[in-house]
Structure 1
Amino acid sequence: MADLAASLLAEASWSGMLAAPTGRTWTISLPAGTPLLNANQRLHHAPKAKLTAAIREEARKATEEARVPALRCAHIFGIFCPPTKRRRDVGNLYPSFKAAIDGAVDAGMLPDDSDDYLLGPDMRIGETIRGGQLHLLVIELDPTGAAG
């Protein structure tokens, strides 16, 4: 996970943006094996809402455990570490990443998850982990563009 985070930071480009990275980062990790939402699922609204709430709550707790302070602006990479090496379309996990970001906002990480405060999530596949695991790599941005 650390190698992937370092390579994402190295390849990310904020040129031309109105915000610049400050150099502060955090990793929010949901527990391995947390059931996730997939855009290809056709769930009834009640089970979908229950699963969304569970992911959101796990992310809220994980954000507090990671001691992410209140930020003004951030870039988030969503990293899914799958349970197997089979081919995947990480974009299908967008509903899970959205619920996790909502949980991080609930924990006070950002004022809101609108484009005014958040760049991303940029989704990637990480290394294989038993049970699968979702991570959010949070990169603080300076909205004045003065950092970095």
Structure 2
Amino acid sequence: MLLCRTGGLRAITVDAAHLTLRFCPPDRRRRDLDNMLASFKQGIDAISETIGLDDYHFGLTLSRGEPVKGGSVEVTITEMEPF
């Protein structure tokens, strides 16, 4: 959550949010998207806590990016219609 806040993420007032997650691994080894998503569970929980919205109200899009030193996850948050 500290990374979210130092990165400028703040509470938002929406009923639902869509997270686009782009996983950039640290090397070229093959990885499954579902395992990458599972490894980012704490990150999603931190985003949920920081913006003040239960992650039940998240939609997700997952993609792979090019490898970067140390690996990274790029997150884009947009408002969406509640379901």
Q: Offset of 1:63 from its aligned partner? A: 2.1
Q: Which residue of 2 is the match for residue 131 of structure 1?
A: 70
Unpaired runs of 5+ residues, structure 1, are 1-59, 144-148
Q: Offset of 1:96 from its aligned partner? A: 2.3
Larger Rg: 1
Percent sequence identity is: 30
Q: Which residue of 2 is the match for residue 70 of structure 1?
A: 12
Paired residues in the alignment total: 80
Report the TM-score when normalising by structure 1.
0.47
> Once superposed, which parts of structure 1, at least 4 consecutive aligned residues long, lie more than 4 Å away?
none
Separation of aligned partners in 1, 2:63 and 2:79? 19
Report the TM-score when normalising by structure 2.
0.76
Higher relative contact order (CA 8 A, sep 6+): 2
Q: Offset of 1:71 from its aligned partner? A: 3.7
Cα deviation 1:12-45 (Å, max 9, x = unaligned)? xxxxxxxxxxxxxxxxxxxxxxxxxxxxxxxxxx
Separation of aligned partners in 2, 1:140 and 1:62? 21
Unpaired runs of 5+ residues, structure 2, are none
Separation of aligned partners in 2, 1:110 and 1:142? 17
The residue correspondences of 1:1-148 to structure 2 (distance < 5 A) are 60-64=1-5, 65-72=7-14, 73-107=16-50, 109-114=51-56, 117-120=57-60, 122-143=61-82
Separation of aligned partners in 2, 1:141 and 1:66? 21
